[in-house]
Amino acid sequence: MRWIIEYARAVKVGCWIIGAILIVIAVIGVADRYHRQRALLLEGQQVLLAHRSSWGYSTLVRQLATHKLQHSLLLANPLPTGCLPDQYIAEQQRATETRTEGIEELSQYTLRVPIHQMAPLPSPLAPQMRLTKGGIQMTSRQLLGYSCTGRYAVIRETQTRLQPLPLPPRSAIGPAFVDALVVHVAVSHGHEPPLYIDVHFTDDKADLTPVTAADWPTHLSEEQGEERFVRDMVDPQHALHLEFYSEPLAPSFLSLFLSWNGLGLLMMVGMLASVLLIIWLSGQLIDAYGIQHRAATRDFLTGLYNRREAMALAEAELARAQRTPSPLCILMLDIDHFKRVNDTYGHDGGDEVLKFFAQLLSQTLRQHDLLARIGGEEFLVLLPNTDLTGAQSMAERLLQVLRGSTLNYAGTRISITCSIGVTAWRGPEDNMQAMLIRADLLLYQAKQRGRDRCVSDACLSTAN
């Protein structure tokens, strides 16, 4: 599990990147589903409104044709010449009322209207339309003649009514249609003023509500960001013109989207939250493992490797040197007169000296060199790919750095020196334990020779 410690930051960053990618994929998926469902809804509404508007238009055209036919039947019998006697007028009144009795959608009358109250009559070819009791009523009048007294005009009136019928079944895409949508309709016929109607669609019927010209939209174009149903239908034969203009087809689609996909969205959010929680817990475990590993392998005071970890790393480095083969040296260092520092400045001062000493060593050694604290004031340096001459040069350099550095503690400048034992790996028959024993003996020799110096295998060979 050492690789977790070495790549802890990369592992945590990688986990969070994976989490971020999953979130981005989820957001893109939700956005795509939102736009697809909205497009299907708008398409379904357009298709269904086109179907229903065409059906309503054809129904109105049939009613108009029926109205004209009913009115023309009244003219099948020729009118008497000259003025119309009262007896004839009375017979016509009874006949028209009897003919339409029991027919709910048709009413016909023969009326006597005082001449001074005569108004322009709606032609049978262009009947007057108005909305009454939720249905469209068409009314036309035709002048038959005048009474023999000359005081009355005789008029024949035809009324037909179109009551809202059950709507045709929805198409395959119809279930996506949102009920309670309002469609504005303007009905123009001939020279009559337009009839303005608001159609409130429900699941199975259309409720008609009369409105005024002021309620009709001033423009029949789609506003920015709004989808509407706009349609013009014209029947030149009957001079009929219908304009359809709906309210926005998806004014609050977000609420519909949430109601349609609420369970799936909750499950997705739950899964993402679980993934993020797992990533967070994994990061906490990595951090905890790193803290535990550092406590087990590092010296708590100086931050250097402790003795146990140093021995394991040294054995691994020795095995690598044997495989290569390559030179390997170790330095054993001991701070001179450290007990005197403790006695003079106390243990806090001694701790500061140890940290200062470790910092100087870390700054002077190469990056691939191994530095460890293996005792109270005793330190070990492992120099891979370094022969005895190079190790001696490094030891001298360390001594020189220490001589030129002082620690400022409690207003006092403390000078530090050390003694160093230097030994090299002697070949396949040599091992780390033997190297440590030799380095310790060489360190003892440096102490015996006056401290602040290094003693190596080469020095002993020369002395011998």
Peptide bond into 325 cis (omega under 30): yes
Verify whether residue 309 is a known catalytic residue: no
418-424 vs 454-456, strand pairing mode: parallel
Q: What distance in Å separates the CA atoms of residue 444 and residue 458, rounded to the nearest whole number?
A: 15
Q: Which of 166, 244, 239 lies closest to 203 in space, CA to CA? A: 166
pTM of the predicted model as reported, rounded to 2 decimal places: 0.60
Q: Say which of 97, 243, 377, 396 is annotated catalytic.
A: 377
* Domain residue ranges of the chain, discontinuous segments joined by +: 1-297, 299-463
- The matching CATH number, chosen from 2.40.128.30, 3.40.50.460, 3.40.920.10, 3.30.70.270, for 299-463 is 3.30.70.270
Secondary structure of residue 303 in the 3-state scheme: coil
Secondary structure of residue 157 in the 3-state scheme: strand
Strand partners, 188: 241
pLDDT tens sequence for the chain (464 residues): 566 667 788 888 888 999 999 999 999 999 999 999 888 888 878 877 888 888 888 888 888 887 777 767 666 666 677 788 888 888 878 877 777 776 667 777 888 888 877 776 665 556 778 888 778 888 878 778 888 888 888 888 888 887 776 666 665 444 455 566 788 888 887 667 788 888 887 766 777 888 887 777 655 554 555 788 888 888 877 678 888 888 877 777 888 888 888 899 999 999 999 999 999 998 898 888 888 888 889 999 999 999 999 999 999 999 999 998 899 999 999 999 999 999 999 999 999 999 999 999 999 999 999 999 999 999 999 999 999 999 999 999 999 999 999 999 988 999 999 999 999 999 989 999 999 999 999 999 999 999 999 999 877 655 55
Q: Which two tokens stand for residue 140?
A: 């036309």
Q: 425 Cβ partners below 8 Å, 6+ apart? A: 318, 321, 327, 328, 329, 435
Q: What distance in Å separates the CA atoms of residue 402 and residue 384, rounded to the nearest whole number?
A: 23
